[in-house]
Amino acid sequence: MMRKLIAPLLTLLLVVGVGAGIYVSVNEQLGKERIVRVRGLIGSEKEDFFRDPRVVAALEKRGLAVDLEKAGSRQIATQFKLVNYDFAFPSGSPAAEKIKREAKVNKAYEVFFTPMAVASWKLIAGILEANGIVSQRDGIYYIIDMTRLLQFAIAEQRWSDLAKHEAYNVKKSVLMATTDVRQSNSAAMYLSLASYILNNNNIVDSAAQIEPIIQRLESLFLRQGFVENSSAGPFNDYLVMGPGKAPLVMIYEAQYLQEATRANSGLSDAMTLLYPEPTIFTKHILIPFNDKGDRLGVALADDPELQKLAIEHGFRNRDAAGFRSFVKNHSLSVPDTLVSVVEPPTYEILEQMIVMIEQRYKGN
């Protein structure tokens, strides 16, 4: 009796099972067809934003899924076949401009921005404070004398040459660690800032103004030796390798804030962020190469949910109130507005400086 029942039961189960399998898989296929896959090149500091499941879901709601490749922002224009991609999302208007010219595209979306800041250590901030370079206001460290800091760097002073250096008695040069200025935007932003300071606090706007300062600028980069192509690298080293690797690291504020709010954050009490005065903003600009890229640009720039999620990753945008409440919610010590901000030089001038440094790297 039992046995008689088993055979039909088995058949039924099989039919139901296979049927369910087909139903699920067909449904998945249909869903997948509605989603447009968009492939693009991004600056590495935006990877976490795109990998955030909330961002993936928000994009999916708009019928988009993103395939990413990371690269240095300037490298995107120089080393990739842009026709193979739907969009590029570099950091910095100079890199964006270079890509627009390379790809002959006029459209661009300013998705968000972030100020340049310096990832450092409280013990380092203390030494710089004792040397009149850094000062604290409202629990936030500012580099109030960038001129003096650059003078130390250019004069090849070591940390052990500074007054009150006992906490960091190391024979390393006082140099800002950056990425490769030939490949990456964050280093180009440091170049912009340093050129402004060395040009007597004026934006460099002619070849004649480059000439007297270029050698000093070169030394800030060449003496660092081998550096990385994209800004996630030096920041990860900062999180993992301690102050012996690099006591001062030029980063995007957003990188630090994103790490600070991450569950299981890599930041420790010994770490701190320094804000250069003046600082410089980096705009994160999406350049679409076709309609698919354009859809992504529109979504990132206009979708309130995605704009809110960008803030959750430490970026700033039009929604100043949103950023304020993000800072408050996470009890971060972050300046609400930065008053002393300089513009980068024009694309042509910055490019000219980078090319001159590039020649020095080649030994010319």
Instruction: Kindly tell me which of 10 and 320 has the beta carbon lying closer to other proteins.
Output: 10
Closer residue to other proteins (CB): 271 or 280: 271
Residue 29 in contact with other proteins, rule: CB under 8 A:
no
- By CB under 8 A, the residues from 136 to 175 that bind other proteins are 156, 158, 170-173, 175
Smallest gap from Cβ 202 to other proteins, in A, equals 28
- Dihedral (CA of 80, 81, 85, 88) sign: positive
What are the backbone angles phi and psi of residue 351, rounded to the nearest 5°?
-60, -40
Pick the closer one to other proteins by CB: 111 or 124: 124
- Cα 241-147-227 angle, rounded to 5 deg: 30
Instruction: List the interface residues with other proteins, window 258-277 (CB under 8 A).
Output: 264-267
How far is the C-alpha of 115 from the C-alpha of 112, rounded, in Å? 11
Contact 144, 339 (CB under 8 A): no
Q: Compute the distance between CA of residue 113 and CA of residue 280 in angstroms, rounded to an integer.
A: 10
Rounded CA gap, 229 and 235, in Å?
A: 12
Q: How far is CA 8 from each of CA 14, 16, 18, rounded to the nearest angstrom?
A: 10, 12, 15
187 binds other proteins, rule: CB under 8 A: no
Which positions ≥6 away from 105 have C-beta within 8 Å? 99, 287, 288, 289
Rounded least distance, CB 25 to other proteins, Å: 9
227 binds other proteins (CB under 8 A): yes
- The answer to whether the CB of 188 falls within 8 A of the CB of 95 is yes
Amino acid at residue number 152: F
Nearer to other proteins by C-beta: 91 or 279?
91
236 binds other proteins (CB under 8 A): yes
To other proteins, the closest distance from the beta carbon of 225 in angstroms equals 3
Min dist CB 272 to other proteins, Å, is 16
Torsion of CA 210, 95, 276, 150, to 10 degrees: -30
CB of 6 to other proteins, least distance (A): 6
One character per residue 102-141, x = contact with other proteins (rule: CB under 8 A): ----------------------------------------
Which amino acid would we find at residue 328?
A: K
Q: Report how many residues bind other proteins under the rule CB under 8 A.
A: 42
Residues 6+ apart with CB under 8 A from 345: 192, 195, 196, 203, 204, 205, 353
- CB 64 to other proteins: min, Å: 18
Of positions 9, 35, 207, 270, contacts other proteins by CB under 8 A: 9
Q: Exactly one of 82, 246, 251, 260 binds other proteins (CB under 8 A); which one?
A: 246
37 interacts with other proteins by CB under 8 A: no
31 counts as binding other proteins under rule CB under 8 A: no
Q: Work out how close the CB of 18 gets to other proteins at its nearest, in angstroms, rounded to a whole number.
A: 7
Q: Going by C-beta distance under 8 Å and a sequence separation of 6 or more, which residues neighbour residue 66?
A: 37, 38, 39, 40, 50, 56, 59, 296
Please tell me whether residue 115 adopts helix, strand or coil conformation. Answer: strand
Shortest CB 216 distance to other proteins, Å:
14
Note whether 79 binds other proteins by CB under 8 A: yes
What's the min distance (Å) between Cβ of 90 and other proteins? Answer: 16
Does residue 114 contact residue 314 with C-beta atoms inside 8 Å? yes
Give contact residues for other proteins (rule: CB under 8 A). 2, 5-6, 9-10, 13-14, 17-18, 21, 69-70, 79, 156, 158, 170-173, 175, 222-227, 233, 236, 239-246, 264-267, 361, 363
